[in-house]
């Protein structure tokens, strides 16, 4: 994949519109985790160092569904951005140029035209009067939206350093060949968002560990009673298809052999029981200790580990152990290449105080990471391909 990359010549004396992903978690009016902001700083500093006349930052926050929502205003990012850059940032409520060298514009998803890639909204964004466009928002590259694919039609367009880094770390796994020592850990809830990546790695990985509510559907597909746990009955056939593919390609699928259960998620009284004993009103909320111990051996012998999605409801202390222990095992495996992704994964890193530098790469994308690994052409990356633009 050849995309146009930044150079001093492209930047000097230019007004730059840069799309970033500042969709950070907000709790009680404060930003809970800043990785997505931190990861854009190298590109922003490069633009400043190489003479950008102005920098106009576009992003979304949350799901305002085309309505202005003060609780989802990007102004909350301004002080964090100023601290990380060591520069004054002007917050703009409109898509017009202001006076500051660095300008952060309001949430693009306050307008329906953003998610619909409405040409009229693209023209509204062009009133910022940018000379070039930079995409440093890997997390939204799978979205064909106005600020992602609309602007590159009208402006010379480049990949930022974060987008380049994501592609560099993830591209090797697009191969259809079996990869020795590759373990893929997939958690979360719904099979729909994970099925294609599971099918891909059912052919190429040596081992796949499945956790979270996603594992419940696979357990049900194997004939286990999951009590009143969340699972997708309509996706049992899909789960069986993945299991059959893995068996055909000699890829080990590893599901919990024991689980942490309770009657509801607020319970502090829990039981760790074999999966065969789950029944009645019981609900599975985490992976059991014997399962974690069995995963430890797999992880220890892995050369590469890719992880997307938690092992259970880690936000609740009673059900945090599975995610916490697997995170610790992966972070401690210094001889392996380790790649993590997904918003919940970032939250878990913060909750359990595990440094991101413990891993080879922590992706800022969740859905984008999965779709990239499936081998899909992501619209945001396709819009930057050199073949569709004039050469540098």
- 36 annotated active-site: yes
* Catalytic pick among 187, 212, 309, 343: 343
Q: Give the number of other Cβ atoms within 10 Å of residue 93's Cβ.
A: 14
Catalytic residue chosen out of the listed positions 36, 124, 283, 347: 36
CA distances from 135 to 84, 90, 112, 140, 293 (A): 20, 20, 21, 10, 42
Active site residue 63: no
Catalytic residue among 116, 190, 199, 337: 190
Which strands make up the sheet holding 258-262, listed edge to edge?
271-274, 258-262, 283-287
Note the Cα 175 to chain centre separation in Å. 21
Helices 41-49 and 78-85: angle between axes, nearest 10 degrees: 60
CB 40 within 8 A of CB 136: yes
Q: Given 62, 98, 100, 367, which residue is catalytic? A: 367
328 tagged catalytic? no
* Annotation says 380 is catalytic: no
- Asked whether the beta carbons of 137 and 19 are under 8 A apart, the reply is yes
- The pairs formed by 351-360 with CB atoms below 8 angstroms and a separation of 24 or more are 351/314, 351/315, 351/320, 352/320, 352/323, 352/324, 352/327, 352/328, 354/327, 354/328, 355/331, 356/35, 358/331, 358/332, 359/330, 359/331, 360/169
Instruction: Tell how far CA 173 is from the center of its chain.
Output: 16
Active-site residues: which are they?
Answer: 36, 190, 343, 367
């Amino acid at each position: 994949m050849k995309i146009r990359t930044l150079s001093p010549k492209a930047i000097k004396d230019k007004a730059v519109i840069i799309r970033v992903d500042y969709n950070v978690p907000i709790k009680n009016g404060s930003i809970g985790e800043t990785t997505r902001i931190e990861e854009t700083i190298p590109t922003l500093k490069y633009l400043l160092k190489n003479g950008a006349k102005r920098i106009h930052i576009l992003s979304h926050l949350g799901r305002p569904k085309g309505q202005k929502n003060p609780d989802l205003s990007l102004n909350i990012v301004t002080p964090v951005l100023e601290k990380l850059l060591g520069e004054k940032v002007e917050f703009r409520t409109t898509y017009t140029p202001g006076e500051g060298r660095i300008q952060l514009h309001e949430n693009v998803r306050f307008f329906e035209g953003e998610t619909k890639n409405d040409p009229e909204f693209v023209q509204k964004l062009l009133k910022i009067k940018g000379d070039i466009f930079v995409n440093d928002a890997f997390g939204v590259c799978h979205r064909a939206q106005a600020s992602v694919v609309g602007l590159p039609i009208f402006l010379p367009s480049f990949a930022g350093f974060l987008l380049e880094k994501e592609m560099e770390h993830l591209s090797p796994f697009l191969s259809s060949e079996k990869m020795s020592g590759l373990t893929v850990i997939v958690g979360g809830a719904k099979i729909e968002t994970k099925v294609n990546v599971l099918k891909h790695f059912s052919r190429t990985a040596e081992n796949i560990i499945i956790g979270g509510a996603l594992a419940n559907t696979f357990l049900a597909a194997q004939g286990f009673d999951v009590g009143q746990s969340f699972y997708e009955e309509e996706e049992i056939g899909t789960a069986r298809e993945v299991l059959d593919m893995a068996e055909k390609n000699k890829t080990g699928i590893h599901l919990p052999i024991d689980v942490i259960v309770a009657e509801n998620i607020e319970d502090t009284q829990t039981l760790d029981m074999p999966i065969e004993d789950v029944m009645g009103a019981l609900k599975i909320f985490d992976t059991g200790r014997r399962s974690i111990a069995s995963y430890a051996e797999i992880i220890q012998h892995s050369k590469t580990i890719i992880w997307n999605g938690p092992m259970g409801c880690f936000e609740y202390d009673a059900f945090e152990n599975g995610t916490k222990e697997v995170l610790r095992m992966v972070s401690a495996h210094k001889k392996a290449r380790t790649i993590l992704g997904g918003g919940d994964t970032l939250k878990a890193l913060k909750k359990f105080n595990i440094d991101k530098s413990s891993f080879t790469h922590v992706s800022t994308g969740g859905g984008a990471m999965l779709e990239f690994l499936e081998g899909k052409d992501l619209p945001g990356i396709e819009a930057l391909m050199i073949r569709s633009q004039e050469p540098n």
